Amino acid sequence: MSLAADPQRLKDTVLAVNDDLPIRTDKPVHSGKVRSVYWLTEADSRRLIEEKGYDVAADAPLAIMVISDRISAFDCIWRGEGGVAGVPGKGAALNAISNHWFRRFREEGLADSHILDIPHPFVWIVQKARPVMIEAIARQYITGSMWRAYSKGEREFCGIQLPDGLQKDQQLPELLITPSTKGILRGIPGVPEADDVNITRADITNNFAAFNFRSADDVATYEKLLKEGFGVISGDLAQLDQVFVDTKFEFGFVTDKAGNEKLIYMDEVGTPDSSRIWDGPSYRDGKIVENSKEGFRQFLLNHFPDPDILLNKDRMPERSALARDNELPLESLLAVSATYTGIAEKITGQKIVLSDNPKAEIVEVLREQYGLVD
């Protein structure tokens, strides 16, 4: 029987709530749109660092990061019919893709990530990093919000001037870095005190400490890692006849066992949630086939009669009500599942296997192998 014909089984395979696991912690669980973070006790952090030999300072705070199958778009969480509160296989697919790219970055000698261990397909053990307060967006094609602004006459993006005459979905003359603020930053001349505000390279270099950089040289290192990381993913995807369109990177500083502070990649990277990926053959035929969340965004824009609610930030209360009060057709969630698991299997070469009870599996492995569940 297919998952679509068996909503109860579909519901069981989805990990929608991930902030109620019995993981030993003495701090509140932080639950984001997709992941929940459990900060370990100081004693458990020290014990695991010693037992597992992680290359971090002996007193580094560690956390268990548990992904979910929730689907977020337009700053809202969406759900399907019959109480299906996520997308089967989405969490495992996202983690598998990030794991793959972080490993490729290490192989290419770029930088480490915040991940120290992978106990389960839904779980990372991570070290605490001092985050760089920048959402680092890299764009290789003009599409999405950039195209919408360009088509209305805008030519300057984050201090970068674009030429006239560009066409929708065209490859840009060069890779563009269009950063924005991560969180609300105060006291930076010319930068509004609001989250996710576009900034220029000059904003960053002139106020590097406000973004958690130690020196201007760190800014150059961040740009180098961003461009090289983008290049690795873009090159590998091209071998699979996939087009890497744009993506978001996040960075942070950590200290290793020898006491060296270093810049690392963090959050997730090269996933359908954080990137646009197009099918190569379709693009050459003049069609856009999304292998990323953008396909789900387009579904939502077509599904509801007034798409402006989803696009207009001033209508956020209406948008929240739309997500709260509407269950999406199961077929739409299964289509997202096929997109996510399909691109994950293409990238990693490994099958994404749906778990019958992911929560029970996570609890067992963290209890038996890591001693983190009483």
> Is it the case that residue 8 has pLDDT exceeding 90?
no
Task: Give tens-digit pLDDT for 180-213.
Answer: 999 999 989 989 998 889 999 999 999 999 999 9
Q: Which helix (H) or strand (E) holds 236?
A: helix 216-239
Query: Average pLDDT of the chain?
Result: 94
- In DSSP terms, which residues pair with 135 in a beta bridge? 180
Buried b (16+ CB within 10 A) or exposed e, 69-95: bbbbbbebbbbbeeebbbbbbbbbbbb
Per-residue pLDDT averaged across 285-311, rounded?
95
The three-class DSSP label of residue 197 is coil
The rounded distance, in Å, linking the Cα atoms of 98 and 345 is: 12
Residue 5 confidence (pLDDT) above 80: no
pLDDT band at 9 (very low <50, low <70, confident <90, very high): confident
Confidence of residue 121 (pLDDT cuts 50, 70, 90): very high
79-103 per-position pLDDT tens digit: 999 889 999 999 999 999 999 999 9
Question: How confident is the model over 64-81, as pLDDT tens digits?
Answer: 999 999 999 999 999 999
Query: What would the DSSP string read from start to end of 82-148?
Result: GG--S-TTHHHHHHHHHHHHHHHHHHTTS--BSEEEEEETTEEEEE--EE-SEEEEEEEE--HHHHH
- pLDDT score of 116 more than 90: yes
Query: pLDDT value at position 1?
Result: 35
| Residue 241 structure tokens | 């006849």
| 3-state secondary structure (DSSP) of residue 371 | coil
Whether residue 4 has pLDDT greater than 80: no
Smallest Cα–Cα separation from 102: which of 115, 91, 90? 115
pLDDT at 2: 46
The predicted pLDDT at position 11 comes to 83
Where do the domains of the chain lie, and which CATH numbers do they carry? Answer: 7-129+332-368 (3.30.200.20), 131-284 (3.30.470.20)
pLDDT of residue 6: 66
